[in-house]
């Protein structure tokens, strides 16, 4: 399913599977999650980086061809392919161990073809073994929604213990992180679109102690909050909801403009930070932790040919949890 022009439907295309180049794998796709970042690519919020591209970066596949120079990977192995598709390894950020900030990165489904397809080519060193207890469709959303939630969560909890955690925008990432936070003993507070009873019910069912609209004040101050919805208006609301010294993390790659707000919202050592992409170490830590914690997505399945319908449903908020395409 090919994106030939932003803000236009994807087009079905038939082609022969490509051969992997040096350091690459070809995977037969078993499942590919539908992420909000895919929407940003399709809708042109992220400007095109090539004339056309196959979206999709929450890919579960089976290795069916191995390129020259790849060692330690066997045909038939199941691997996951995430958003970060490659880094240069030589820029200051890569040398500092912060490859998520690489100056010359590659991104699956944006700068290189992704998983809305029957097969995908990926760099072998950016593919991950997947825990055996996770089905293909359960593993797919973990590869971005899960990973970015984990990175945002670690940043939110970096400086002091967090007992009360706010989650703004209760979609794919938040519903996965809520399960991990509950497993870790934190109390989750879910903020949804006003009147979204389905998302609020899901949040309570996954262990959140409170769920309400994004403009509602929580019953008690939060220690930290993570904003997953790409809505800049949520930033001053989240800052007002956290206690003195609390942290607000913006977890998306794109967000609408943040409105002006009184300095008092930020004062008293509240922090406002963003998260960018992920590192391979994030995946090595998160995937086994999620499996051990029993993190499981609520999935709506779509055939690959219905990718446009899946994107439209995500755009409209027509389902809770995560959508997954099955070739």
pLDDT digits (tens, 9 = 90+) for 45-76: 999 999 999 999 999 999 999 999 999 999 99
pTM of the model: 0.95
Average pLDDT over residues 258-274: 96
Confidence bin at 268 (pLDDT 50/70/90):
very high
pLDDT of 86 higher than 90? yes
Dist. CA 263–CA 76, nearest whole Å: 56
Confidence bin at 201 (pLDDT 50/70/90):
very high
pLDDT of 15 higher than 90? no
Confidence bin at 159 (pLDDT 50/70/90):
confident
């Amino acid at each position: 399913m090919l994106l030939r022009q932003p803000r236009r439907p994807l087009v079905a295309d038939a082609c022969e599977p490509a051969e992997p180049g040096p350091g690459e794998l070809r995977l037969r796709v078993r499942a590919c999650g539908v992420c909000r970042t895919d929407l940003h690519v399709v809708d042109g919020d992220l400007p095109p980086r090539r004339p056309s591209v196959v979206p999709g970066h929450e890919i579960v596949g089976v290795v069916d061809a191995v390129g020259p120079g790849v060692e330690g990977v066997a045909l038939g192995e199941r691997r996951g392919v995430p958003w970060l598709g490659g880094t240069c390894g030589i820029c200051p950020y890569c040398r500092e161990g912060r490859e998520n900030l690489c100056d010359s990165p590659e991104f699956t489904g944006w700068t290189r073809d992704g998983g809305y397809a029957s097969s995908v080519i990926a760099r072998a060193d950016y593919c991950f073994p997947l825990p055996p207890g996770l089905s293909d469709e359960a593993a797919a959303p973990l590869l971005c929604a899960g990973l970015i939630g984990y990175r945002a969560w670690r940043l939110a909890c970096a400086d002091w213990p967090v007992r009360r955690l706010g989650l703004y925008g209760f979609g794919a990432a938040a519903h996965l992180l809520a399960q991990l936070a509950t497993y870790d003993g934190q109390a989750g507070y879910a903020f949804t679109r006003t009147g979204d009873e389905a998302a609020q019910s899901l949040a309570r069912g996954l262990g959140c102690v409170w769920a309400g609209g994004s403009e509602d004040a929580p019953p008690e101050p939060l220690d930290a909050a993570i904003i997953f919805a790409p809505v800049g208006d949520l930033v001053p609301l989240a800052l007002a909801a956290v206690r003195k010294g609390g942290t607000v993390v913006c977890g998306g790659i794109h967000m609408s403009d943040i409105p002006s707000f009184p300095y008092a919202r930020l004062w008293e050592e509240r922090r406002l930070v963003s998260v960018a992409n992920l590192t391979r170490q994030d995946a090595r830590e998160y995937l086994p932790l999620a499996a051990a914690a029993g993190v499981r997505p609520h999935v709506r399945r779509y055939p690959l040919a219905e990718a446009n319908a899946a994107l439209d449903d995500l755009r409209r908020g027509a389902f809770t949890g995560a959508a997954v395409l099955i070739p």
